[in-house]
Amino acid sequence: MAVYYQQGEFKPVVPFMVIIKPEGNLEGVQEFTIPNDGLRHHILITTKSTEYPLLEMDGKSIIYRDKKVYDTRSLNSSYVGVRIDIGPGHHTLGSLYPSVLTVKLGIIIYAYSNNDIAYGFPV
């Protein structure tokens, strides 16, 4: 179980809980759909820092997207967390070069609004 808190622009965001299945090595292309429910949606990606530059989302390199990268090297970790704002619709996430490298990643989608509504789920 993971509980996520984020400071909002004007007030703290409603905390929410995500139940994460203990499955490792999420590989290959991950597909997911973001509902058009009026909430602000974000995707939180966890991957090895060496694989992060090779991530692509919707056919484009993730490096060029508007994102927030949480580097965990100061915690003696070889992983990085990446938060991206994302709109409604169908999306894919995977490796820029799938024949060369299969990126292993963890994905959590979460959303919130100013009306104290929030949810999150693993992909």
Q: Give the residue from 20, 19, 36 showing the smallest Cα distance to 90.
A: 36
C-alpha span between 112 and 4 (Å, rounded): 12
- Residues 1-39: tens digit of each pLDDT: 344 445 555 555 555 555 555 455 456 678 889 988 888
- Pairing state between β 105-112 and 118-122: antiparallel
How would you label 43-58 residue by residue, b for 16+ Cβ within 10 Å and e otherwise?
Answer: bbbbbeeebbebbbbe
Please report whether residue 95 resides in a domain. Answer: yes
Mean pLDDT of the residues in the chain: 75
Amino acid (one-letter) located at 105:
L
* 67 in any annotated domain: yes
**pLDDT tens per residue across span 34-54:** 988 888 898 888 888 888 888
Supply φ then ψ for residue 53, to 5 degrees.
-65, -15
Say if 8 falls within a structural domain.
Answer: no
Q: Which of 20-29, 71-80, 93-102 has the lowest mean pLDDT?
A: 20-29
Domain annotation covers residue 7:
no
Structure tokens given for 81: 């967390």
pLDDT-derived band of residue 83, with 50, 70 and 90 as boundaries? confident
16, 110 contact by CB (below 8 A):
yes
Residues 51 and 26 sit within 8 Å (Cβ to Cβ)? no
Identify whether 104 is part of a domain.
Answer: yes
Range of the domain at 67: 25-122
For the segment 109-119, what is each residue's pLDDT rounded down to a tens digit?
888 777 777 77
Count: domains in the chain: 1
CA 6/CA 49 separation, integer angstroms: 23
Q: Is residue 11 part of a domain?
A: no
77 in a structural domain:
yes
The confidence score (pLDDT) of residue 88 equals 93
Q: Please tell me the predicted confidence (pLDDT) of residue 91.
A: 92
